[in-house]
Amino acid sequence: MAGALESIKEWPKATKNYIQELQNEMRKVTWPSAKQVRATTGVVIVTVFAFAAYFQVVDTILNRTIVRIYNVLAK
């Protein structure tokens, strides 16, 4: 019971230390420029649409193949 009480008393100090360490680490972060963010966002959008188109083509081919196989076996 005493151990739990001590850990509760240490909580504010531990929280303060965590926040200080977090602030120190955030100062070390190198943030991208607005130009870099726009460029990488464009790449992500183009990639998402390319994958969507690819999966649409694959889905259509698989769907037609399965329907043809089903029709042949259903006769």
User: Tell me, what's the pLDDT at 10?
Assistant: 84
Instruction: Output the pTM of the full model.
Output: 0.58
Do 25 and 35 have their domain in common? Answer: no
Listing DSSP states for 8-36 in one string gives HHHHHHHHHHHHHHHHHHHHH--PPPHHH
pLDDT reported for residue 4? 64
For residue 15, what are the domain limits?
A: 1-30
In order along its 75 residues, the chain shows pLDDT tens digits of 556 666 777 888 889 999 999 999 999 999 999 999 999 999 999 999 999 999 999 999 999 999 999 999 998
Give the list of residues 6+ apart from residue 40 with CB closer than 8 angstroms, or none: 32
Q: Note whether 40 and 32 are within 8 A (CB).
A: yes
Q: Are 1 and 36 in the same domain?
A: no
Domain count, the chain: 2
